[in-house]
Amino acid sequence: MSNQKLAEYVTLVSSDGFEFNLLRSAACLAGTIKKALDPKSGFREGEQNRVHFETINGVVLEKVCEYLYYSQKFAESKDVPDMDIPPALCLELLIAADYLDV
């Protein structure tokens, strides 16, 4: 069990092998990731600080990470600049969002 101090960064792995290192606080904005990493539950992801997503490819996951940082950055501000989302990715991003509970 990871009783020791939680690592500041966690790793997200896409289905095609891309790895994204990002702040735990940002990653945990997504419900699914948060629960996967929950130290109280002690799943394998929590032990390794690494979540492997079998269903999300690198392009989409990159965009997800971008969004997580984006939403953390502007969590408490108004007049947020729009985030640029390529229309081609729209559908896949929506599915990922549902899956990740963002």
Partner 1 sequence: MKSARAKGLHGDDIDFENTWGTLASAFREIHTKNASRLSYEELYRHAYRVVLKKKGEDLYKRVLGFERDWLSTEVHNSIQALLTPNLLVSAQAVGTSNTNERRVAGEKFLKGLRQAWGDHQVCMSMLADVLMYMDRVYCQDNRHPSIYTAAMVLFRVDILNHPVSDTDARAVLDLLNRVILDQIQMERDGDVIDKYLIKMCVGMLESLHEDEAEAEDQRLYNTSFELEYLTTSKEFYRKEAEFLLRDSDAGAYCRHTRKRLDQEEDRCKSTLSEVTTPKIQKVVEHELIKNRIHELVEMESGVRFMIDNDRLDELELMFDLNSRVDDKKMELVRAVQKRIVEMGADVNNAAVAASTAPAPAPDAPDKGKGQPQEKNSNQQTIAAIKWVEDVLQLKDKFDGILRTSFGMDQPLQTAVTRSFGDFINSVSFPRSSEYISLFIDENMKKGIKNKTELEIDAVLEKAIVLLRYVQDKDLFERYYKKHLCRRLLMNKSISNDVEKQMISKMKIELGNNFTLKLEAMFKDMTISEELTSGFKKHVEGLGDKDPKRIDLAINVLTSMTWPLETMSSGDDEEGKRTKCHFPPALERIKRGFEKYYSEKHSGRQITWLANMGSADIKAVFPKVPQKDGTTKERRHELNVSTYAMVILLLFNELPADQHLTFEEIQAQTNIPHSDLVRNLQSLAVAAKTRILIKEPMSKDVKPTDKFFFNEGFKGAFLRIKVGVVANGNKVESDRERRETEKKNDDSRGFCIEAAVVRIMKQRKELSHQQLVAETLNQLAAQFKPEVNMIKKRIESLIEREYLERIEGAKVDSYRYLA
* Residues at the contact surface with partner 1, assessed by CB under 8 A: 1, 31-32, 35-36, 38, 40-47, 51-55, 91-92, 94-95, 98-99, 101
* In the complex, least distance from residue 37 CB atom to partner 1, rounded to whole angstroms: 8
**Closer CB to partner 1, residue 81 or residue 86?**
86
Q: Among residues 1, 83, 81, 69, which one has the least CA distance to residue 39?
A: 1
Q: In this structure, are residues 1 and 42 in contact, taking their beta carbons and an 8 Å threshold?
A: yes
Query: Do 46 and 2 meet the contact criterion of CB atoms below 8 Å apart?
Result: yes
Q: Report, in Å, the least distance between residue 21 CB and partner 1.
A: 17
Smaller CB separation from partner 1, 23 or 97: 97
Both tokens assigned to 91: 């559908």
Minimum distance from residue 77 beta carbon to partner 1 (Å): 28
CB-nearer residue toward partner 1: 26 or 51: 51
Burial string for 46-65 (b: 16+ CB within 10 Å, else e) reads beebbbbbeebebbbbbbbb
Q: Which is nearer to partner 1, 16 or 74 (CB)?
A: 16
